[in-house]
């Protein structure tokens, strides 16, 4: 990988239509000539802006929201840098005002999927051979464009299209995606730096090759940052990508694609192919060039994708890397030494922010009977103050859930609770889909620690809580561990250190992201690499070196400087 030589400054200062990787490289091959073991700038987490009254960012965001709400975007397919409009269109609406059409998008079909394979293959030979610093420069430039001139646009698209508040959009579509791009460049450099030792007379090297083929990236609706990271993490490592975005969150995904184009990403490196998922992905699974899947979404869909890969296994040129971060049934378990005020805030923020539609959202809670009255009073008081509505009204804490299907699924769990003798709705339970898909924050008491609502992922603003006998702490930890099939996030609240230690130990495999006296949401890139095992995924930790390692296929090179010229070994000689 020794690439201290920078061949060009390709694309880093250019916007406009994408050029092929080859053309870009040729156009600027002689331009730079910079020689040195270059270091990626040390990343720091992008500061979260407050959007407080009177702040400049608030004014800018509000005016972008107004402009975007008044217009209807036209979202094309982007293949090989070309915008394609099939004329077979669908709509993107506001979840909190579902008659309001934000955008029309052009659906790709099997033909476009096959064209994307060709475009990706055409880009592969040049892009996979680019110096890694050149690739990193594209994504570092994208990070600065997003942090600066594109910030209000991508945040506004996330607020309107995914029903996020200004704060939830800011921490997702601005800060987390900027962090992914900046930190991943640094993590890539750390991977490349990792070289083997060499005995005298030789030089051993590791060549971190991109995968031979294309990577299929498929994102969920709930995080713009995840949508942006899934195609770009493999691309940073020299891979070409076909990105099948989620339909409901297409508006913000499209603007992320625009940022990448403006950052100088060569044509064909990431191909943006919205459309019906089975139709679009069918030809991709059948292609011998499928080299990897980078997925985030539900457990069931991930299992389908893995089966699709195994059904075609003998056709592939190389075994595809299958990386997926999936569902969760995230918990808080409180010890009797927990601080009730901190616990109540963690339940409310962790359970209801972004309408509980975070894979890490608190969904099941275990509270000792000795604390219950106090905690109950505090949580219910917070819930009374939470307002649900249009997130462009900045006083609102919760917007709408993403679509009708989500609304129906979540409300069916609430109905089930209403009819069950084991479950009692303590607060919330109301819902209306007249204007937007609104569901009140809902707290449900479960007598049975293994009721359906304590086990299944609901993915909405519903927290189910079980009150346990404070003397049964150890038994409760065992229950937390074996109640659900997932292993994504979890938290323990305790002031007693022995209780913290016991929870850390007994719940070691219950969560890939574990929190002590904090809510189990809000992982920050570079600080708490994110992902879980069991039914929650392959735990390849988005935004870390571990994830980037999945997108390279190392080649070991041994060069001997003065190879032997006599075939006989010394031991074969006569005395
Ligand atoms: P989803 O599984 O319904 O959809 C995810 C993506 O898969 C979408 O782009 C969808 O179009 C596509 N898809 C659906 N069926 C497909 C098929 N048969 N073939 C190919 N693609 C297909 O998930 P969602 O509702 O968008 O997101 C919510 C889920 O994502 C929750 O389960 C949540 O826990 C999970 N999630 C997990 C993480 C994590 O890091 N673990 C992060 C965010 C979301």
Model pLDDT for residues 423-442, shown as the tens digit of each residue: 999 999 999 999 999 999 99
- The rounded Å distance from CA 230 to ligand 1 centre is 12
- The rounded Å distance from CA 533 to ligand 1 centre is 16
> Does residue 296 line the site of ligand 1, with CB under 6 A?
yes
Whether 78-85+109-326+537-557 and 330-516 share one fold: the answer is: no
> Dihedral sign, CA of 147, 152, 153, 158?
positive
CA distance 356 to 31: 50
* Percent of residues, the chain, with pLDDT higher than 70: 94
CA distance 128 to 160: 37
User: Residue 238, SS3?
Assistant: coil
User: Residue 538, SS3?
Assistant: coil
Q: In what order do the strands lie in the sheet containing 462-468?
A: 423-427, 442-446, 462-468, 362-368, 330-334, 489-493, 513-516
What is residue 33's predicted lDDT score, i.e. its pLDDT? 62
What is residue 171's predicted lDDT score, i.e. its pLDDT? 98
Encoded tokens for 371: 């604390």
> Dihedral sign, CA of 316, 318, 319, 323?
negative
What is residue 10's predicted lDDT score, i.e. its pLDDT? 30
- The rounded Å distance from CA 488 to ligand 1 centre is 15
What is residue 35's predicted lDDT score, i.e. its pLDDT? 83
Is 325 one of the annotated active-site residues of the chain? yes
- The rounded Å distance from CA 24 to ligand 1 centre is 35
User: In this structure, which topology does domain 330-516 adopt according to CATH?
Assistant: Aldehyde Dehydrogenase; Chain A, domain 2 (3.40.309)
Burial class (CB in 10 A: 0-12, 13-18, 19+), 82: middle
Q: Regarding beta strands 82-84 and 77-79, do their DSSP bridges make them parallel or antiparallel, or are they unpaired?
A: antiparallel
Model pLDDT for residues 106-159, shown as the tens digit of each residue: 999 999 999 999 999 999 999 999 999 999 999 999 999 999 999 999 999 999
Q: In this model, does residue 20 exceed pLDDT 70?
A: no
Q: In this model, does residue 575 exceed pLDDT 90?
A: no
Q: Which atom of ligand 1 is nearest to the CA of 530?
A: 40
- The rounded Å distance from CA 400 to ligand 1 centre is 18
- Per-residue confidence band for 26, with pLDDT thresholds at 50, 70 and 90: very low
What is the helix (H) or strand (E) element at residue 141, kind and residue range? helix 132-147
* Percent of residues, the chain, with pLDDT higher than 90: 93
Is 359 one of the annotated active-site residues of the chain? yes
**Which of 359, 424, 475, 559 does the annotation list as catalytic?**
359
**Which of 262, 325, 353, 457 does the annotation list as catalytic?**
325
Q: How is the chain split into domains, by residue range?
A: 78-85+109-326+537-557, 330-516
Our mutation pick for probing the ligand 1 site, out of 176, 218, 220, 541, counting the most ligand atoms within 8 A of Cβ, is: 220
Encoded tokens for 178: 């900027």
Model pLDDT for residues 264-317, shown as the tens digit of each residue: 999 999 999 999 999 999 999 999 999 999 999 999 999 999 999 999 999 999
What DSSP line would sit under 483-499, residue for residue?
HSSEESEEEEE-S-HHH
> Does residue 356 line the site of ligand 1, with CB under 6 A?
no
What is residue 24's predicted lDDT score, i.e. its pLDDT? 47
What is the helix (H) or strand (E) element at residue 408, kind and residue range? helix 404-419
Ligand 1, atom 37: closest residue by C-alpha: 326
> Does residue 402 line the site of ligand 1, with CB under 6 A?
no
| CATH code, residues 78-85+109-326+537-557 | 3.40.605.10
Ligand 1, atom 10: closest residue by C-alpha: 246
Buried b (16+ CB within 10 A) or exposed e, 551-568: bbbeeeeeeeeeeeeeee
Q: Are 249 and 227 in contact (CB under 8 A)?
A: yes
What is residue 278's predicted lDDT score, i.e. its pLDDT? 98
Model pLDDT for residues 553-570, shown as the tens digit of each residue: 999 999 999 999 999 999
More confident residue, 202 or 4: 202
| Stretch among 28-42, 254-268, 378-392, 555-569 having the lowest mean pLDDT | 28-42
Q: Which atom of ligand 1 is nearest to the CA of 221?
A: 26
> Does residue 327 line the site of ligand 1, with CB under 6 A?
yes
What is residue 172's predicted lDDT score, i.e. its pLDDT? 98
- The rounded Å distance from CA 322 to ligand 1 centre is 15
> Whole-structure pTM over 0.85, yes or no?
yes
Our mutation pick for probing the ligand 1 site, out of 301, 402, 489, counting the most ligand atoms within 8 A of Cβ, is: 301
């Amino acid at each position: 990988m020794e690439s201290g030589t920078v061949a060009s400054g390709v694309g880093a200062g250019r916007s406009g239509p994408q050029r092929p990787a080859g053309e870009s490289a040729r156009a600027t091959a002689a331009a730079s000539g910079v020689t040195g073991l270059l270091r990626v700038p040390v990343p720091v987490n992008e500061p979260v802006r407050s959007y407080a009254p009177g702040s400049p960012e608030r004014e800018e965001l509000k005016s972008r929201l107004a402009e975007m709400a008044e217009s209807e975007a036209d979202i094309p397919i982007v293949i090989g840098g070309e915008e394609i409009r099939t004329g077979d269109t669908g709509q993107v609406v506001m979840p909190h005002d579902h008659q309001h059409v934000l955008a029309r998008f052009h659906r790709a079909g099997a033909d476009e999927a096959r064209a994307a394979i060709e475009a990706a293959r055409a880009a592969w030979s040049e892009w996979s051979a680019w110096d890694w610093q050149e690739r990193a420069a594209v994504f570092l430039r994208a990070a600065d464009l997003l942090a600066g001139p594109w910030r209000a646009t991508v945040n506004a698209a996330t607020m309107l299209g995914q029903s996020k508040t200004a704060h939830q959009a800011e921490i997702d579509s601005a800060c987390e995606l900027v962090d992914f791009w900046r930190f991943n460049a640094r993590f890539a450099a750390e991977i490349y730096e990792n070289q083997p030792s060499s005995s005298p007379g030789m030089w051993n090297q590791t060549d971190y090759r991109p995968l031979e083929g294309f990577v299929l990236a498929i994102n969920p609706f709930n995080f713009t940052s995840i949508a942006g990271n899934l195609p770009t993490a493999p691309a940073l490592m020299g891979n070409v990508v076909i990105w099948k975005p989620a339909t409901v969150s297409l508006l913000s995904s499209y603007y992320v694609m625009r940022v990448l184009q403006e950052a100088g990403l060569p044509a064909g490196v990431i191909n943006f192919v919205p459309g019906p998922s089975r139709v679009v992905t069918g030809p991709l699974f059948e292609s011998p060039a499928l080299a990897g899947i980078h997925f985030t979404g539900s457990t069931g869909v991930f299992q389908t994708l893995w089966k699709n890969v195994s059904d075609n296994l003998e056709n592939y040129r190389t075994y595809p890397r299958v990386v997926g971060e999936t569902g969760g049934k995230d918990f808080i378990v409180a010890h009797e030494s927990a601080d009730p005020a901190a616990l109540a805030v963690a339940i409310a923020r962790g359970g209801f922010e972004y309408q509980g539609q975070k894979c890490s959202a608190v969904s099941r809670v275990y509270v000792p009977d000795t604390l219950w009255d106090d905690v109950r009073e505090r949580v219910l008081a917070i819930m009374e103050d939470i307002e649900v509505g249009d997130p462009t009204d900045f006083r609102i804490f919760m917007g709408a859930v993403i679509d009708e299907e989500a609304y129906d699924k979540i409300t069916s769990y609430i109905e089930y609770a209403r009819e069950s003798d084991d479950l009692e709705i303590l607060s919330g339970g109301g819902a209306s889909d007249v204007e937007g898909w609104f569901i009140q924050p809902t707290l449900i008491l479960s007598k049975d620690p293994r009721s359906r609502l304590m086990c299944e992922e609901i993915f909405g603003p519903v927290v189910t809580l079980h009150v346990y006998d404070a003397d049964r702490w150890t038994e409760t930890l065992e229950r937390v561990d074996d109640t659900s099939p997932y292993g994504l996030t979890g938290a323990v609240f305790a002031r007693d250190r022995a209780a913290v230690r016991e929870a850390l130990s007994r719940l070691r495999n219950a969560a890939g992201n574990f929190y002590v006296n904090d809510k189990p949401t809000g992982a920050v890139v570079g600080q708490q690499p994110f992902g879980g095992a069991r039914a929650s995924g392959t735990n390849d930790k988005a935004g870390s070196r571990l994830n980037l390692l999945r997108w390279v296929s190392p080649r070991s090179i041994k060069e001997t400087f003065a190879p032997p010229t006599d075939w006989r070994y010394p031991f074969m000689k006569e005395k």
